[in-house]
Amino acid sequence: GVPQAPPRGAPHIATHGAARVCGVAAAEAVVAG
Q: Tens digit of pLDDT for each residue in 1-33?
A: 566 655 555 554 555 555 567 677 777 878 876
DSSP string, 1-33: ---S--TTTHHHHTSHHHHHHHHHHHHHHHHH-
pLDDT, residue 24, reads: 78
pLDDT, residue 30, reads: 81
| Neighbouring residues of 22: CB distance < 8 A, sequence distance ≥ 6 | 9, 12, 13
- The C-alpha R_g of the chain, in whole angstroms, comes to 9
